[in-house]
Amino acid sequence: MISRAGDVAFQLSNLHFSDFYPTAGWRPDINAFRYDDRFEICVDLAGVEKDAIVVEVLTDRIRISGERHQPGLECENCRQVIALEIESGHFAREVTLPAEVEPEQVTARQENGLLWIVLPLSGSRL
């Protein structure tokens, strides 16, 4: 069990996460998984319209960017803002992949505020 946990820690340490836009904005949370034939990345994009998301796939990295508008009503007639924790505005996230993928075979789907991206590894068939 300890050996297996060490293998997982090593594999995760080979994923590099970075922003690719130097401008102010927010970073969506992600979960990233590696399978024998693909990577799958889940991006938390609750409240982001599908047409406001840009996904760029290169052989060794993926870039996700877009814009989320502030959810809810404007505080024109409200007495007090009690909490304002949902980030809005421009977002960007870049994931450097530890193996090459086939950009033309990438698929994505949006479910319950999550964007799921499937990136087939080079040389594999899904």
Beta bridge partners of 107: 118
Q: 55: domain range? A: 2-120
Cβ–Cβ < 8 Å for 103, 58:
yes
Q: What pLDDT is attached to residue 44?
A: 98
Percent of the chain with pLDDT over 70: 79
- Please state, rounded to an integer, the average pLDDT across all residues of the chain: 85
In this predicted structure, the answer to whether residue 16 has a pLDDT above a threshold of 80 is no
Nearest to 72 by CA among 60, 81, 61, 63: 81
Instruction: Provide the 3-class DSSP secondary structure of residue 119.
Output: strand
Q: What pLDDT is attached to residue 46?
A: 95
Q: Is residue 8 part of a domain?
A: yes
Give dist(CA 40, CA 51) in Å, integer: 21
Cβ–Cβ < 8 Å for 95, 32:
yes
Cβ–Cβ < 8 Å for 106, 61:
no
CATH number for the domain that contains residue 115: 2.60.40.790
In this predicted structure, the answer to whether residue 51 has a pLDDT above a threshold of 80 is yes
More confident residue, 82 or 30: 30
**From 20-29, 35-44, 46-55, 85-94, the region with the lowest mean pLDDT:** 20-29
Q: Is residue 126 part of a domain?
A: no
Its pTM stands at 0.76
pLDDT band with cut points at 50, 70 and 90 for residue 30: very high
Helix (H) / strand (E) element for 8: namely helix 2-13
Report how many domains make up the chain: 1
Q: Is residue 47 part of a domain?
A: yes
